[in-house]
Amino acid sequence: MPSPPPPEPTPAVADAFGRPLHDLRISVTDRCNFRCPYCMPAEIYGENYRFLPRPELLSFEEIERVARIFAGLGTEKIRITGGEPLLRHELPRLIERLAVIPGIRDLTLTTNGFLLARQARTLADAGLHRVTVSLDSDDPETFRRMSGRDFGPEAVIDGIEAAAEVGLTPIKINCVVQRGVNDDGIVGLAERFRGTGHVLRFIEYMDVGTLNHWEPEDVVSAQEIVKRIGDRWPLESLDPNYPGEVARRWAYEDGAGEIGVIASVTAPFCGACSRARLTIEGRLVTCLFASGGVDLRGPLRAGASDAELRERIEGVWRHRSDRYSEERARRRKEGSERPKIEMYQLGG
């Protein structure tokens, strides 16, 4: 007897601009073992800095419940972020819970990679599909400066290799490019990962949070990045893998793989943004550059039903009209910038 057809996907709820709710990014900790100057500068987040106590974080049970409601609204992709998510105690238990939610087709994790080698197998066994690893430089001196720690990139590179060995692929490697800081290593990093099957993605330096003292002059444009690499190895443009993909794809003409460039500053893609974010303490945030969010933890712990939580989430998304990247220049010119949530609290 033939198997029944798979269930039809749930239509995604749409926001004020018709953008669907396809992606949920869940931050599971505000702690990190790096002190990258553009995210968690060591002079602010020193040894005595007090991060949120455990009871203020969403529990795995609460995260799973929220994720199931999102899946019922059409969300198909979940990304686990931080802080550094591999610092969250017993994270594989959460992966196991999320991996079996009906409708979730892509379960991923973004990490700095330092602890990945020792956890890759456990994460894969728990049901994680793939990983994205942040690596801003493979030059030891530049890596130390950008990570805020006194060690080189070797553990991160080992983590990438371990993830590949257990099938957490395709692996994406994210490099935030800052002019005068690590832009001299663009071509070298591309050379390291050519032919490996990994997808190296260069990200324009963005004004996320309030701590990185961002200026437009610090940005190396996607166009310049592509030119630098293309001058060494000719590139050809590729079509997106799916609607709303944030990275513009480029293939090496000699068949050695592909790179991506994410141009949030010079070529904003707000019009296709389908990402919601759940912060460590349970706030629903609808933009990476948001100044606040809507509390879900309170209703969760006050006994709200799934229907009530769904109504709250759906209402927030239907009224969503964020398009910060498209408005950045005007906001700066008018002096109408607002405080933003820090990146370590809501993930990238």
Question: What would the pLDDT profile of 107-158 be if each residue is shown by its tens digit?
Answer: 999 999 999 999 999 999 999 999 999 999 999 999 999 999 999 999 999 9
Can you give the pLDDT at residue 44? 83
Can you give the pLDDT at residue 344? 65
Bridge-based pairing state of the strands 248-252 and 258-262: antiparallel
Q: What percent of the chain is modeled with pLDDT above 70?
A: 88
Q: Does residue 4 contact residue 309 with C-beta atoms inside 8 Å? A: no
pLDDT band at 324 (very low <50, low <70, confident <90, very high): low
Q: How far apart are CA 166 and CA 154, in angstroms?
A: 19
Question: What contacts 252, CB < 8 A, 6 or more positions away?
Answer: 194, 233, 234, 235, 258, 259
Of residues 269 and 313, more confidently modeled: 313
Ranking 47-51, 238-242, 249-253 by mean pLDDT, the lowest is 47-51
Ranking 123-132, 253-262, 328-337 by mean pLDDT, the lowest is 328-337
Can you give the pLDDT at residue 40? 84
- On the question of pLDDT at 2 being above 60, the answer is no
Q: Does residue 131 contact residue 110 with C-beta atoms inside 8 Å? A: yes
Q: What is the pLDDT of residues 156-174, one digit of tens each?
A: 999 999 999 999 999 999 9
Q: How far apart are CA 177 and CA 204, in angstroms?
A: 6
Can you give the pLDDT at residue 331? 60
Q: Is the peptide bond before 5 cis (omega within 30 degrees of 0)?
A: no
What is the enclosing helix (H) or strand (E) of 305? none
Q: What is the pLDDT of residues 204-249, one digit of tens each?
A: 998 776 666 778 899 999 999 999 999 999 999 999 988 778 899 9
Question: What contacts 184, CB < 8 A, 6 or more positions away?
Answer: none
Q: What is the pLDDT of residues 60-90, one digit of tens each?
A: 999 999 999 999 999 999 999 999 999 999 9
Place of tokens 């550094």: 84
Q: What's the fold here for domain 23-346?
A: TIM Barrel (3.20.20)
The rounded mean pLDDT for the chain is: 90
Can you give the pLDDT at residue 322? 78
